[in-house]
Amino acid sequence: MYNNLSKKNGAISPSVTLAITAKAKKMKADGIDIVSFGAGEPDFKTPEHIRNAAIKVIEEGSIGYTASSGMPDLKKAICEKLKEDNGLEYSTENIVVSNGAKHSIYNALGAICNPGDEVIIPVPYWVSYPEMVKMADAKPVFVETPEENGFKYTKESLLAAINDKTKAIFLNSPSNPTGAVYTEEEIKEIAKIAVENNIYVISDEIYEKLIYDGKHISIASLGDDIKKLTIVINGMSKAYAMTGWRIGYLAANKEIAKIITNMQSHATSNPNTIAQYASIEALKGDQEPIKKMIKAFDKRRKYMVERINSIKNISCREPQGAFYVMINISKLIGKNLDGYDINSSMDFAQYLLDTAKVAVIPGSGFGTDNYIRLSYATSLENIEEGLNRIEKAINKK
């Protein structure tokens, strides 16, 4: 029997998305025909020129330790990317490369938060935001972003949540799980609020290249005042199909970057050296594979939205970015389907997994229980089959 374990870390909730995906994978490994909509990663191979860069450095290069905050050449490539894509001027001192964008967010919170600070999080939220805020000894403050508002903050909702304890606002555009993309005017309004109240913005831009309607605006590009308050989060996972390579990065003012560099030097040292070399090639090399991936995602997105909205008792908005659809299941809550009482999104997700052999992510993991999330980072054939199964399951009496 172990006594006196950490109360704070013992209270951390497991990731619902990872748990559901792991259960579906186990069922599949056991020979069960599962259609999974849980994946938060592209179903494409890492582009060949990126893989080849990694192989080359393994065979010919030095793959020892690097600077704890990342290789200088990779930081330079990131600075060039931020300037070209986002109109942002940073030096390598502003950049910290970490073990995935999730690690970058964790580092950002650790650098700015003190006990008692509050961090504003939109609902629906990415599943790890609240837990990471708690791990930084701060308090998550939730702001509802209803479907009728496009799953986005409003000026009124943000201002109502701000007080003298507010340290930061999470901005995630394009959004996981909703696919929402903020317009330039909406971003400007958030920037104005942040500057007037001297609040940091943690701008999670990991899905920035996966946009189908509208365009990506980095909030840090809207002026020096908001740039000083913004921590830009990005990484290689989504745009370059490099989820397992675990390279994320952030750009921030030099004081914040220095704190994070010191933190990381003790916590993890440098990110994977081989993956850093591969990331240089990803950023500087051929970008055509991204365009092909976006085209495939867009085709799946349009099919999925049309098909979902043809099924009785469920509906969805068309996402503008990322590769997720939030399905409104409020009409099913309180019903009994084939002997299963559906009183929550978890009940419905379990029902689909048990009876239809379809894995979806319950909305409760994102703070909203009237929804489930489906990923279209899977083949069109799987999407067709999975939605057919869902329709059949919903129509059972």
Summarize pLDDT for 182-217 with one digit per residue, the tens: 999 999 999 999 999 999 999 999 999 999 988 999
Complete domains list, the chain, with CATH? 7-45+289-394 (3.90.1150.10), 62-284 (3.40.640.10)
Whose CA is closest to 290, among 346, 348, 208, 213?
208
pLDDT of 60 over the 90 cut: yes
Contact 141, 118 (CB under 8 A): yes
Inform me whether the pLDDT recorded for 24 exceeds 70: yes
Which tops the pLDDT comparison, 214 or 76? 76
Q: What is the pLDDT of residue 1?
A: 52
Whether 324 shows a pLDDT value over 80: the answer reads: yes
Nearest alpha carbon to residue 96 among 113, 118, 71: 71
Residue with tokens 């993890």: 268
14 pLDDT higher than 90: no
Contact between 377 and 36 (Cβ < 8 Å): no
Higher pLDDT, 73 or 39: 73
pLDDT of residue 133: 98
pLDDT 10s digits, 236-287: 999 999 999 999 999 999 999 999 999 999 999 999 999 999 999 999 999 9
pTM of the model: 0.96
Poorest-confidence range of 15-29, 220-234, 310-324? 15-29
Region of 8 (left: φ > 0; alpha: ψ -120 to 50; beta: rest) is alpha
Average pLDDT of every residue of the chain: 96
What's the alpha-carbon Rg for the chain, to the nearest Å?
A: 21
